[in-house]
Structure formats: structure tokens, C-alpha cells
Amino acid sequence: MRVTHSDLDHNAPTKSPMTLHVWRSGGLGDFIYMEPAIRKRNQRMILHAPAAYTDLWRRIGFDAFVPNETGKAPPGAPGLDLHWAVEKHPEDGWLDRVSIWEDIFGVPLGDDAPQVEFNRKRQDDLLELGGYRPGLPLLYYSPFTSCAGLGGRSSPVPVVNAMLDALLPWYNVVMLTQHPSWPDGLHLDGVMAGAATSDLKYLDMVASCDLCLSNDSGGLYVAAAAGLPCVGIYDHVPPWLRARRFPTIYSLYSRWPDCRCGHHDACTKPVDGTEPCKVFPVEEVLLALQDCEQQQGQVYSIWDHRTIPVIVPPTQAIRDVTGRSLVNVQKLRVLWELSRDVADLSGCAVEVGVYTGGSAYCLATWMRDKTLHLFDTMKGLPEPTEVDLHGQGEFAVDEDEVRGFLGGFSNIQWHVGEFPQTMPKGLKNVALAHCDCDLYESAKAFIERMVPLMVPGGCLVVDDYQWGPCPGITKAVDEAFPPDRIEVRTPGQAIVHF
């Protein structure tokens, strides 16, 4: 006979002498999720679960632990078999997860945050995974249900590989498994990948990271309970992800608007017979990871802005210039990072080479308290040298159109004509200088004129560095600075700090 919540004493002021046995084979994330309900039950509770829960059961609110490798209640055993309770519950479904747990335990979850203790001193365990690169954040990436299982909400392996390619330049990517092996075809070069030998170790290793990306709710709950900024990738927007009890979760809604397959989990059912109907948009995820560190507890839709708020800068600024800027998303993200780095410095910002105004729009948005000086001929490139590959007059633009596009900013000052002849005599104290001028002489003049004006802590950024079509840019930068002064965070962009 199984006990239901109606059979239990809900109102006992102290722990009830009646013991509740709880059976579960896995579901660490679910235990994190319902920890407030376990705590509120105010009753002696014994967990029957696999040995992986050894030493962990106390942290998630239980009073005793009995190893049971199946985690399933024997026929007739008293207590709650959580497999049975969830899977057989008449309201089972991801859109009603809160009510299921509340009904099972007979206690409202409300907005109470989990009170799980974490040991965030597992950096040594993380470093043992190998591949750590100093200076990059530790990102826990959980694309598979139950770490490396391929059921439920798991991403297809090609999608995971594409995501890893995009994440690795920016993060130390941590992936953990408790399975014998990773899925076939997974590209783990450069990834800090390994096994968490127990659920306790897994819990603390995740908590020792800096942020989390997951489309498995278990990994997401663990990271969110530890206070990590989290991006959850889902093909629908579950109301339970919006709960204030998980204030660090930023949920990214990723179903294509024309998908009618009706699947809630990781859907690979083709719409027209050629492409999967569910696609994880890599660039949107990168932007969401940037935003989630600044704006926590938000739910956003990539496509359907009618029902869910749109994302605000820095993401929105980059979206606004999509298709307009030749500076790619990764380089724009670096410019945003640098704009944050110099935010507290006095001084102005400079851009030489405005073109259609994409990067200028972003800089003006992110640095509204600083004057942004814009330099461009508007008639295209000046005469090149023999080292350059671009021709005179390339990248000419309609000046009125570009000015109109940037007309909403009060912090912009225009200097139209050939640089450096258009430099005002009073220009000084430059906090951030950005060059996107394609030619050797222009880049050389930019560096020569800007270096004396840079404030301590400022940064000078040169686009198209070490990029094949612009050999003159690489020549100008390498002539001006020794290799140890030049930082490259993303290909094709040089940064020099002062």
C-alpha cells in the first residue's frame, strides 16, 4: 500500500513521529526543485535511492538514507514512489510540474527558494578535468538529460557540437557525466569533460562554475539553486521556470513559430521532410549568456515577442544592427565587454571607419555617458598602398542615411572627411578607440594619433587584424606593438590595453 499526502498529518507543529519513505532512482534536479516541500513536510523522511545519493541526502532535506539501486518501491511498500507518483499522476506534464509536486507532497511550493548547501571549493576537481584556460569563465553546459543520456529534452549531437564550437572561444566549457561514455560523435576537444563520481560531487562541481547553460531541467535546477546565472533552452516556456523561487534562470524559448508537431521535448520531427523543426540558435544562446549575467530571472522568446518581453541591450543593440554591420556578433560582444571595462573611466570614445553605422550604434548605446567621435569619409576608402587588397572608393555610403540611422543619439559627434585631417584639436582623454578602416596607412595614422590620447585603463581596438583581405591592418598593428601587448579574444580583432 502506498501512502498519499491525504494520509499524512499536514499540520504537525513539530516533526511528525510518522515516517514517510520516499523512493527515487534518479532525479537530483527534481529533489532540488522540491526541497522546500520536503522541508515544509515537517516529518521524518527516509530516502531510498541509489548509492550516488550517499552523503547527499542530508543536503536535500532527508533524515535518513537507505541504499536501493533500483530506487523503486517493492510491491506493497509504504511511502511515496516518486516514479509512480509523477508518471501516473493524472496531471502529468511539463506545463503543470508545480501542481504535481504540490499534490504529491501536500505542501504548496510557493516562491520559496531551495535552501541547499553547496561546497563551492571544487575548483581543483574541475581543473583535474583538463583543458582549463585562465581568464575565461567556467560554463557548466548540460545539453543532455541525466548528464549524458539521450532521452527527454536532450539536444541532438550535431546541435551540441555546433554549440561547443561557438562556446569554446568564450568559456571554459565544463561537461559532466555519470554514464559509462559520452554519445557517439560528440566533439570534446578543448572541453573540460569528465565524470562526477557521485551526486554530491556533481552538485558541488556545478556550484563551483560561474554560469550554466542547460536544456535539462535537472542541471538547470542545481545551478540555479547554487545561485549561478543560468540560461535554460526550451522548446516551450514552462510557467514553472518563471517562478521567483529560481530568480537566476533566464529561459530561452526556442521553438520555430511554424512548428506544429506538438512535441514538448527535443523534437527532431521534420516540418517539410528536410530540416528538424527544433533548432537551437547558437548566436542567440551566446547573447543570452551575456545578458543572463546582468538580467536575472527573465523569460524570453526568440521569435514570439507578442507574448514574452523582448531582450534588452546588449542583445537588443546587436539585434538592431543585424545585416547592417560588417563587424560580426562575436566582435560586437567584445566591444560590449570593453565598454563595460572602461565604464568608470573619464574620457570619450572614438571610432574611425563608420560605414553604415552598425558598431557605432552599439557603442553609442552602451556608452551613453561618453561622447562618441565618429570619423569617416562617407565616400569610401582612400587610396591604398601596395600592401592593401581593398580598392579606393570601396565601402562608400549614403551619408544622410547613416546619419539618420544614428540620429537618435545625443552623444555622437561627427567628423566627416579623411582621417586624421578631420581630428579636432581639442580631442583628448580617449577611453575606448575602435578602428575599422581596412587600409595600412589609415590604421597606422589611427594608432599614431590615438596612443598619446589614451587614458590609463583605456583600450584601443583594431578590426580585421590577422584577417586575409586586410594585410595592411596586421602590418600596422605589428609594427606599432610588441606581440605581448596585443590581445586577441576573437579572430580578426586586436586589443591593446593602456
Give the pLDDT confidence of 229-267 residue by residue, as tens digits. Answer: 888 776 444 444 444 556 666 666 554 444 444 443 444
Rounded CA-CA distance 41/11 in Å is 9
3-state secondary structure of 50: coil
Do residues 35 and 115 lie in contact, with contact meaning Cβ atoms separated by under 8 Å? yes
CB 252 within 8 A of CB 234: yes
pLDDT in tens, 58-70: 877 788 888 887 7
The contacts of residue 469 (CB under 8 Å, 6+ apart) are 389, 390
Residue type at 54 in one-letter notation: T
Confidence of residue 368 (pLDDT cuts 50, 70, 90): confident
Please state the rounded mean pLDDT for residues 151-156.
57
Terminal Cα-to-Cα distance of the chain (whole angstroms): 73
> At CA 161, angle to CA 465 and CA 333, rounded to 5?
35
Three state DSSP letters for 245-291: CCCCEEEEECECCCCCCCCCCCCCCECCCCCECECCCHHHHHHHHHH
- pLDDT confidence bin for 334, thresholds 50/70/90: confident
Q: Which residues contact 14 (CB under 8 A, 6 or more apart)?
A: 42
Res 356 pLDDT > 80? yes
pLDDT at 293: 59
pLDDT grade, residue 121 (50/70/90)?
low
Q: Which of 111-125, 334-348, 435-449 shows the highest mean pLDDT?
A: 435-449
Q: What's the grid cell of residue 110? A: 510557493
123-301 and 322-497: identical CATH topology: yes
Task: pLDDT band for 344, please (50, 70, 90 cuts).
Answer: confident
Q: What is the pLDDT of residues 275-293, one digit of tens each?
A: 444 455 677 778 778 766 5
For residue 124, the surrounding DSSP H or E stretch is helix 123-127
Burial of 187 (0-12, 13-18, 19+ CB in 10 A): middle
Query: What CA–CA distance (Å, rounded) separates 398 from 381?
Result: 14
* C-beta neighbour count of 164 within 10 angstroms: 22
Q: Could you tell me which of 197, 159, 163, 156 has the C-alpha nearest to residue 180?
A: 197
**SS3 string of 22-45?**
EECCCCHHHHHHHHHHHHHCCEEE
Asked whether the beta carbons of 366 and 338 are under 8 A apart, the reply is no
Write the burial class of residue 331 (CB in 10 Å: 0-12 exposed, 13-18 middle, 19+ buried).
Answer: buried
The neighbour count for residue 382, using CB atoms within 10 Å, is 15
| Greatest extent of the chain over all pairs of C-alpha atoms, in Å | 89
Strand partners, 182: none
Sheet with 249-253, strands from edge to edge, namely 192-195, 172-177, 138-142, 211-214, 230-234, 249-253, 299-301
Q: Give me the pLDDT at residue 26, please.
A: 60
At residue 11, the pLDDT reads 37
Q: What is the pLDDT of residue 45?
A: 83
d(CA 464, CA 493): 6
Distance between CA 183 and CA 325 in Å, rounded?
Answer: 38
Q: What is the pLDDT of residue 428?
A: 92
Residue 87: the pLDDT is: 55
- For the chain, percent of residues with pLDDT exceeding 90: 26
pLDDT of the residue at 97 = 52
Q: Sign (positive/negative) of CA torsion 12, 15, 18, 23?
A: positive
Residue 412 has pLDDT above 50, yes or no: yes
CA distance 446 to 433: 9
pLDDT band at 498 (very low <50, low <70, confident <90, very high): very high
Question: What is the fold of 123-301?
Answer: Rossmann fold (3.40.50)
Higher-confidence position of 3 and 215: 215
Whole-number pLDDT of residue 17: 52
Residue 221: exposed, middle, or buried by beta-carbon count in 10 A (0-12, 13-18, 19+)?
buried
Q: Which fold has domain 322-497?
A: Rossmann fold (3.40.50)
Query: Across residues 439-457, what is the average pLDDT?
Result: 94
Domain ranges of the chain: 5-105, 123-301, 322-497
State the average pLDDT for the chain.
75
pLDDT at 227: 79
CB contact at 8 A, 336 and 362:
yes
Answer yes or no: is pLDDT of 458 > 90: yes
Measure the CA–CA gap between 154 and 320, rounded to whole angstroms.
31
